[in-house]
Chain A
Amino acid sequence: MKNKLLPFSIVLIFITIFIIFYKGLQDTNIYTPEVKTNYEVPSVSVELFDSGKIVNTLEIFNTDKFYLLNIWSSWCVPCRQEHLILMDLIKNDNLKIIGINYKDTKKNAKKFLEELGNPYDKIIFDNDGTNAIEWGAYGVPESFLINKNKIIKKYIGPLSKESMEEIKLFIK
């Protein structure tokens, strides 16, 4: 009985390992980031783009309104396409758009806004990209929908027409 059990268990182990590796081969090796939502707005000191004043993030997101935090930069090509959507979204009274100007120069950023319009209620100046890290961002563009100091939805990459409709549904 003991002699029979050993080869049987060896075969069983090999079959199990084969199935695990075979399944693993079929899995995609492209990593999709884990999109965490429903967490609190990070409380950090930030520099405002226009005045250069240092304020806490909690002072910016202090009303019951919906906020869309948008990370953008003048050198980011997808941000240009997305800007039209932001200009459309700002027509909603229930929504305020806050920008994080990511690794940019103030001169180029101002030029960008003069050319395409300024949808931002306030802009945070993030010269070295460390503020974006506080938000758990990967790069530009990225947007976070915030309500009552909680991030309720995160959009990685440029906002599309579908995401615009989704945001409109959220803030209705």
Chain B
Amino acid sequence: MKIFKLFLIIFFIFPINDLKADNEILKNKITKNLRCLICQGQSVYDSDSEFANSLKIVVDSKIDEGLSEKQIYSYFQSKYGEWILYDPLFNRNTYFLWLLPLLIFFVGGAIIFNKFIKKP
């Protein structure tokens, strides 16, 4: 019976710890991608301002509610606009930003191909 109880304790404690560690990693990841709007140049993760501390609590509770990373980002975006995200989303305003490096890569590749590979 004792062994059975011990087994039950181990069985229930370990997954919870794993879950909490996962939540902490996710929370850190999300707060690193949120801009502290009242302290320029710092993420919410780095900042210890009143605003950032409240935001960390909200991120925690949203994770507990079961919201996904994307849903949490869109929640903050709806409250503060896209500026709060360090990683800009792919939309009409950012097509140029996201596609320009790819365009340069392909044009550059085409020039290199034409000059050095095709000629000889």
Q: Give chain A's interface residues, CB within 8 Å of chain B.
A: 31, 33-34, 36, 103, 128-130, 132-136, 138-139
Contacts and interface: CB of A to CB of B under 8 A. Distances in A.
Given A31-B40, A138-B38, A133 B83 contact: no
B37 A129 contact: no
B58 A133 contact: yes
Given A130-B57, A130-B58, A138 B83 contact: no
Nearest to B79: A136
A129 B40 contact: no
Interface stretch (B22-30, B47-55, B66-74, B87-95): B47-55
Which range holds the interface residue count of chain B? Answer: 10 to 19
Interface of B is mostly: helix
A138 B51 CA distance: 6
A130 B83 contact: no
A132 B38 contact: no
B83 A139 contact: no
Contacts of B61: 130
Interface of A is mostly: loop
B81 interface: yes
A139 B50 CA distance: 8
A128 B54 CA distance: 6
Given A31-B83, A34-B81, A134-B79, A139 B38 contact: yes
Given A33-B37, A138-B38, A133 B81 contact: no
A138 B49 CA distance: 11
Rank and list the top 6 A-B pairs by shortest CB-CB distance, nearest first: A129-B54, A136-B79, A34-B81, A133-B58, A130-B58, A130-B57
Given A33-B37, A138-B38, A129 B79 contact: no
A56 to B, nearest CB: 17
Contact of B53 (A31, A33, A129, A135): A129
Contacts of A130: 54, 57-58, 61
Contacts of B40: 31
B57 A128 contact: yes
A47 B53 CA distance: 20
